[in-house]
């Protein structure tokens, strides 16, 4: 309940879990980071980090209008800052709404190792998809 | 020659080809986009778009110091703007250096469908990894 | 004709000219950069660079719907990359639309010295203000 | 003590105060926002918001190595999200270090009205200037 697996192609491919069960209105993406998610330097690929952050932030936006976290929001813009290398093990991305109105929301997110060390932060602008676009 | 496949975990997982063979100093990522790369709205996931852009831009940075495009550059910051939905079919991300010096480079990138329509643009700051970090 | 001076408080304060006369649909901000625009390192302050870019990009968005370039667009998000120091003399920021639809537009901009050397690049998301918001 | 006025051209021109006196390692920019800082819609110009954020974040970076907050850091990249209009009255920008190492720092900042309402948030990458560059 509230844990979403394999619901989209990308989620199945990369292997993360989307958790919209928290009562704080914030969605989380959990990934057991392994060799499949690394880059040439054997650290977490920046694009995988962006994927987890984008999804946690978009689902957090969705939770503001839909308790199942499934109403789609389109990402207009996403900025990721890479603070420290990500290493194999459990990592979690989490979103937070910072502002916005009825259709456009501003979010921030962070991605951390299990021990709490920050890997990356992100901010972005998301827009609620209209029914006809779903 | 100049086409790199399956060299990193992320590249194998997502299934794109990195092309550093161009004589224009610009690296390209080619992806045959299919269901595995889609989000809940059945369009290209923003994180996969970011992955292709980040890799094309980082490899373009690398080409400025290494003709094989393999010398690693770390992404410090990446901003992606999502202009239009990405649909199944062949897509290509390409990087371009806009400025910088001996260790920090600024890049832009764009991601397009085979017919040239823009899906996303990106800008980012990349830093050359030191030998001990490789 | 097409050169706008002192129309807003910020424009008067900083002293730049907004040029919407070009037949290419791109707005330009011209500034005679002097000591008043410098930071502690005696180079162009990053915030002044952002001001010129934001204004050139927003006015370019406006030109897409209003030949006078005055219909307001609100900036949702702006990312500026600082490629090289800006020095006293004439500088110009220019905008370009990269995508978008009827209300949300994506723009890029660049800021250059008179000799063409790049100082900064920017991308941003802008939204057309509704009549009641003007 | 710890309040810096008119030290740079930009600070004098725009009229904000830089406060590096806090014992929390965070620099603040205070501005009495008035007509001179508005745009065509009679709200705070996005570029002035960026100026206050950039300066508060850069000075916060400086405080990590210099208790006077004057050692210069260059902004490599700055992303500003505009959450709500800024109106005349007292506003404050404040910076916070989120990560980084000995020469490159990642910062976030926010800009608020006196009553605490958020106007804009920012993230950025800053680099410590070398002595010869000062």
Q: What angle do CA A125, A131, A132 make, to 5 degrees?
A: 105
pLDDT band for position B72 (cuts 50, 70, 90): very high
Nearest C-alpha in A relative to B62: A40
pLDDT tens, residue by residue, D64-110: 999 999 999 999 999 999 999 999 999 999 999 999 998 999 999 99
Pair of tokens at residue C75: 């900036």
Strands D17-19 and D28-33: antiparallel
Chain A residues with CB under 8 Å of C125 CB are 76-77, 125
Model pLDDT, residue D3: 86
B74 beta partners: B127
What would the two tokens of residue A81 be?
A: 């800052």
Q: Which subunits sit against D, judged by 3+ Cβ pairs under 8 A?
A: A, B, C
Q: Which chains touch C (3 or more CB pairs under 8 A)?
A: A, B, D
Angstroms from C126 CA to nearest CA on chain A: 10
What tens digit of pLDDT does each residue of C93-116 get?
A: 999 999 999 899 999 999 999 999
D7 Cβ contact list (under 8 Å, min separation 6): C40, D18
- Tell me, what's the pLDDT at A133? 47
pLDDT of residue B134: 44
Q: What is the pLDDT of residue C4?
A: 84
Would you call A83 an interface residue with chain B, using a CB distance cutoff of 8 Å? no
Exposed, middle or buried, D53 (CB in 10 Å: 0-12/13-18/19+)?
buried
Closest residue in A to D124 (Cα–Cα): A81
Residue A88 has pLDDT above 70, yes or no: yes
Residues in chain A: 134
Strands B89-100 and B17-19: unpaired
CB C56 within 8 A of CB C29: yes
The superfamily in CATH containing domain B3-133 is Hotdog Thioesterase (3.10.129.10)
CA distance, residue C112 to nearest chain B CA (Å) = 12
Residue B32 near chain A (CB below 8 Å): no
Element (H, E) at D51: helix D46-63
Q: Is C23 buried (19+), middle (13-18) or exposed (0-12) by CB count in 10 A?
A: exposed
Query: Does C75 sit within 8 Å of D38, measured CB to CB?
Result: no
A80·B76 Cβ contact <8 A:
no
Q: Do A125 and C127 touch (CB under 8 A)?
A: no
- In whole angstroms, what is the distance from residue B19 CA to residue C31 CA? 41
Q: What is the mean pLDDT of residues A40-56?
A: 96
pLDDT at A134 over 50: no
Phi/psi for A36 (5° steps) reads: -70, -15
Interface contact D97, partner A, CB < 8 A: no
Closest residue to B14, CB basis, from A12, A13, A82? A13
CA distances (Å), origin B42, targets A50, A119, A133, C115, D124: 18, 29, 10, 47, 32
Mean pLDDT of chain C: 94
Residue given tokens 């920046």 in the structure block: A46
- With 0-12 CB in 10 A as exposed, 13-18 as middle and 19+ as buried, what is D3? exposed
Asked whether residue C80 carries a pLDDT value surpassing 90, the answer given is yes
**Crossing angle (nearest 10°) for helices C46-63 and D46-63:** 150
Q: Which of A81, A84, A99 sits opposite D123 (nearest CB)?
A: A81
The string of pLDDT tens digits covering residues B12-53 is 999 999 999 999 999 999 999 999 999 989 999 999 999 999
Distance to chain D for A44, nearest Cα, Å: 17
CA distance C47 to D16: 13
Nearest residue of B to residue D99, measured between CA atoms: B76
Sign for the CA dihedral angle at C96, B55, A74, B84 comes to: positive
Residues of C in contact with A104 (CB under 8 A): 76, 127
Crossing angle for the helix pair B46-63 and A46-63, to the nearest 10 degrees: 150
Q: pLDDT-derived band of residue C132, with 50, 70 and 90 as boundaries?
A: low
* Backbone phi and psi for residue D124, each to the nearest 5 degrees, phi listed first: -165, 165
pLDDT at C131: 63
Using the Cβ of D74 and the Cβ atoms of chain B, whether some distance falls under 8 Å is answered with no
Across chain D, mean pLDDT equals 94
Out of B76, B79, B123, the one facing D104 most closely (by C-beta) is B76
Distance CA C61, CA C26 (A): 8
User: Number of C-alpha atoms within 13 angstroms, CB side, residue C128?
Assistant: 16
DSSP character string of C16-54: -EEE---TTS--EEEEEE-GGGB-TTSSB-HHHHHHHHH
pLDDT tens-digit series, residues B45-67: 999 999 999 999 999 999 999 99
Computed over every residue of chain A, the mean pLDDT equals 94
Cβ contact, residue pair D118, A100, below 8 Å: no
- Residue-level pLDDT at D20: 95
- What part of C 100-119 touches A (C-beta under 8 Å)? 104
Instruction: Test B100 with C108 for CB contact under 8 angstroms.
Output: no
pLDDT of B131: 63
CB-based contact A112:A91 (threshold 8 Å): yes
Complex ipTM value: 0.94
D125 touches chain B (CB under 8 A): yes
Nearest-10 Cα torsion for A117, D108, D130, C39? 180
Instruction: Report how far residue A44's alpha carbon sits from residue A87's, in angstroms, rounded to the nearest whole number.
Output: 6
Best A77, A81, A104 member to test C by mutation, with max C CBs in 10 Å, is A77
Q: Torsion-angle region of residue B64: left (phi > 0), alpha (psi -120 to 50) or beta?
A: alpha
Whether D75 contacts chain A with CB within 8 A? no
> CB-based contact (8 Å) between C7 and chain D?
yes
Compute the distance between CA of residue D58 and CA of residue D54 in angstroms, rounded to an integer: 6
Tens digits of residue pLDDT in A8-22: 899 999 999 999 998
Q: Mutate which of A106, A113, A116 to test chain D, going by most D C-beta atoms within 10 A?
A: A106
Q: Residue A5's CB: how many other CB atoms inside 10 A? A: 10
Range A49-63 average pLDDT: 97
Q: Beta strand pairing status for C28-33 and C73-82?
A: unpaired
What is the nearest CA distance from A64 to chain B, expressed in angstroms? 17
CB D80 within 8 A of CB D56: no
Structure tokens at C59: 């006015």
CB C47, CB D47: distance < 8 Å: yes
A129 close contact with C: CB closer than 8 A: no
Question: In whole angstroms, how far apart are CA A4 and each of A8, A15, A19, A50?
Answer: 10, 11, 6, 19
Question: Within 10 A of B78 (CB to CB), how many other CB atoms are there?
Answer: 30
């Amino acid at each position: 309940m509230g844990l979403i697996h394999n619901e989209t192609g990308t989620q199945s491919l990369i292997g993360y879990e989307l958790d919209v069960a928290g009562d704080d209105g914030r969605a989380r993406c959990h990934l057991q980071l392994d060799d499949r998610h690394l880059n040439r330097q054997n650290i977490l690929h920046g694009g995988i980090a962006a994927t987890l952050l984008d999804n946690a932030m978009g689902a957090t936006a969705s939770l503001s209008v839909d308790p199942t976290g499934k109403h789609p929001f389109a990402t207009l813009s996403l900025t990721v800052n890479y603070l420290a290398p990500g290493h194999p093990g459990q990592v979690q991305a989490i979103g937070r709404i910072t502002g916005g109105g009825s259709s456009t929301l501003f979010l921030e997110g962070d991605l951390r190792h299990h021990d709490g060390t920050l890997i990356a932060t992100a901010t972005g602008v998301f827009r609620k998809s209209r029914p006809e676009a779903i």
